Amino acid sequence: MQVRSWDIRPYDAAQDADASFALWQAALGQKWLIGPERFKQILHNPTAQNFVAHEQGQIIGLLAITRSERVTGSLGNILAVLVAPERQRRGIGRALHTRALEYVRQAGLTQVQVGGGWARFWPGVPLNLPAGYEFFRALGWEFREGLIYDLQQDLSNYVTQPAIWSRMAREGISFGFASKENLAAVLEFERREFMNWFPHFQYVAEFGDYQDLLVAHDKANGKVVGTLSMYSTQHSHPDRIDIPWQAMLGEKMGALGCVGVGADERGRGIGIALVARASELLKERDATPCYIDWVEITDFYAKLGYEKWRGYWMSTRDL
């Protein structure tokens, strides 16, 4: 019987961060370029619990895991399982996966997802990492939730179709930003209509980035009818970690997401107008390309020129 020469212990930010980043570079750097600061910000987020596999003082594996809140309750999120290329197929990844499930159970959670959470690297298992897909399948994961995509568009020549603003004029819809004065109404809208996004809107507001929370109002009654979140490298708070992929998409890139219209207000064209207005604003902020992550309905964004960038397999399992 072969004696195991490696062991697993909790990640220590002070001593393991640089070695863990080097491990990422060795395992994934050609396909998923990320800067060291963004990498560390994701690993060091307040809800993260990470583990490393080590052998003779060398980091040879990394498990990054966090937890997130949904309407249905809390769940664990496996952010990444990495093993040094020369140490693969020795059971290290499987052992790290076992530790992940142990942590989730000990935390009192009953569900775990591959990817997702906040802050995150990916929503699911990237399509360009088929070995990762086979790894999780071999460990009992079932990928029945369909594919989702990240989108992107160069906004340099973006122009909104005039028909969108003509319709908003007919519908009596105006667009503005969140503020200290209307924040309570905006958060109440999120809590009521999109509880899964409520923590993100709170997160952006806590940084004081009200200019990144776009709000649609019905002029007839002043009611909040839709919202959207934005990010831009040059205008958003530097400690926000909305986007990990500046090294691939450009340091000036921007992002939008969490596009939501109230259930009673749908069918009025408000959603596409929110995306159009956000695209205009990000162009004005010189934030290009614009990135949108975790998209199921890609045809909706394609109307404004957004194209698929990367795709993901999705899976959540009960424990």
Q: Tokens 């990495």: give the residue.
A: 82
Q: Is residue 146 situated within a structural domain?
A: no
Q: Is residue 103 situated within a structural domain?
A: yes
Handedness of CA 83, 89, 90, 96 (dihedral sign): positive
Q: Is residue 318 situated within a structural domain?
A: no
Domain stop point among 106, 141, 176: 141
pLDDT value, residue 302: 98
150 strand-pairing partners:
310
Kindly state whether residues 164 and 31 are assigned to the same domain: no
Kindly state whether residues 187 and 255 are assigned to the same domain: yes
pLDDT value, residue 73: 75
Question: Which residues, other chains included, contact 119 with Cβ-Cβ below 8 Å and sequence gap of 6+?
Answer: 41, 42, 45, 66, 241, 244
Residue 117 gets the label, from left (phi > 0), alpha (psi -120 to 50) or beta, of: left
Kindly state whether residues 155 and 120 are assigned to the same domain: no
Q: Which of 19, 50, 26, 66 lies closest to 241 in space, CA to CA?
A: 66
Kindly state whether residues 136 and 281 are assigned to the same domain: no
Q: Is residue 2 situated within a structural domain?
A: no
Looking up residue 230, the CATH number of its domain turns out to be 3.40.630.30
Rounded distance between C-alpha atoms, residue 150 and residue 158, angstroms: 19
Q: Is residue 305 situated within a structural domain?
A: yes
Strands (E), 71-195: 73-83, 111-114, 125-126, 147-153, 173-177
Kindly state whether residues 122 and 91 are assigned to the same domain: yes
pLDDT digits (tens, 9 = 90+) for 127-175: 999 999 999 999 999 999 889 999 999 999 999 999 999 999 999 999 9
- State how beta strands 73-83 and 111-114 pair: parallel
Kindly state whether residues 158 and 131 are assigned to the same domain: no
* Chain-centre distance for alpha carbon 3: 40
pLDDT value, residue 118: 86
* Chain-centre distance for alpha carbon 256: 11
Which ranges of the chain have pLDDT less than 70?
1-3
> Which structural domain, as residue segments, surrounds residue 176?
151-311
Kindly state whether residues 69 and 115 are assigned to the same domain: yes
Q: Residue by residue, what is the 3-state secondary structure of 32-79? A: CCCCHHHHHHHHCCCCCEEEEEEECCEEEEEEEEEEEEECCEEEEEEE
Kindly state whether residues 168 and 265 are assigned to the same domain: yes
pTM of the model: 0.94
Number of domains observed in the structure of the chain = 2
Question: Which residues, other chains included, contact 270 with Cβ-Cβ below 8 Å and sequence gap of 6+?
Answer: 168, 171, 173, 216, 225, 226, 261
Rounded distance between C-alpha atoms, residue 291 and residue 153, angstroms: 7
pLDDT value, residue 96: 98
Kindly state whether residues 14 and 39 are assigned to the same domain: yes
Q: Is residue 316 situated within a structural domain?
A: no
